[in-house]
Amino acid sequence: MERKTAKFQQDFHEDQKISCAILAGGKNIRMNGLNKAFLTTQNQTFVQRLIDELKGFDEIMLSCASPDEYKDFNVKLVEDEIKGIGPLGGIYSCLKQARNEHLFVCAVDMPEVKKELVEFMTQFISSDYDAYIIKTGTKLHTVCAIYRKTLLVAMENSINNKNYVILNPLDEGNVKYINLKYSCFSDDIISNINTRDEFIMYNDMHM
Domain boundaries, the chain: 19-205
Q: How far apart are CA 125 and CA 90, in angstroms?
A: 22
Tens-level pLDDT at each residue, the chain (207 residues): 333 333 433 444 445 699 999 999 776 666 676 788 999 988 899 999 999 999 999 999 999 988 899 999 999 999 988 888 999 999 999 999 999 999 999 999 999 999 999 999 999 999 999 999 999 999 999 999 999 999 999 999 999 999 999 999 999 999 999 999 999 999 999 998 888 888 888 888 876
Q: How far apart are the first and last CA of the chain?
A: 41
Question: What pLDDT, on a 0 to 100 scale, did the predictor assign at position 4?
Answer: 36
Q: Taking the CB of residue 14, how many other CB atoms lie within 10 A of it?
A: 7
Question: What pLDDT, on a 0 to 100 scale, did the predictor assign at position 195?
Answer: 86
Question: What pLDDT, on a 0 to 100 scale, did the predictor assign at position 83?
Answer: 87
Question: What pLDDT, on a 0 to 100 scale, did the predictor assign at position 28?
Answer: 63
Question: What pLDDT, on a 0 to 100 scale, did the predictor assign at position 6?
Answer: 34
Which pTM does this prediction carry?
Answer: 0.89
Question: What pLDDT, on a 0 to 100 scale, did the predictor assign at position 65?
Answer: 86
Question: What pLDDT, on a 0 to 100 scale, did the predictor assign at position 10?
Answer: 42
Question: What pLDDT, on a 0 to 100 scale, did the predictor assign at position 141?
Answer: 96
DSSP letter for 123, please.
Answer: T
Single out the residue of 186, 177, 184 nearest to residue 10, CA to CA: 184
Question: What pLDDT, on a 0 to 100 scale, did the predictor assign at position 55?
Answer: 94
Cα of 9 vs its chain's centroid, Å: 22
**Long-range contacts, stretch 181-189, CB < 8 angstroms, 24+ apart:** 181/4, 181/136, 182/2, 182/3, 182/4, 182/5, 183/4, 183/5, 183/8, 183/120, 184/5, 184/6, 184/7, 184/8, 185/116, 185/117, 185/120, 187/136, 188/112, 189/112, 189/113, 189/114, 189/117
The superfamily in CATH containing domain 19-205 is: Spore Coat Polysaccharide Biosynthesis Protein SpsA; Chain A (3.90.550.10)
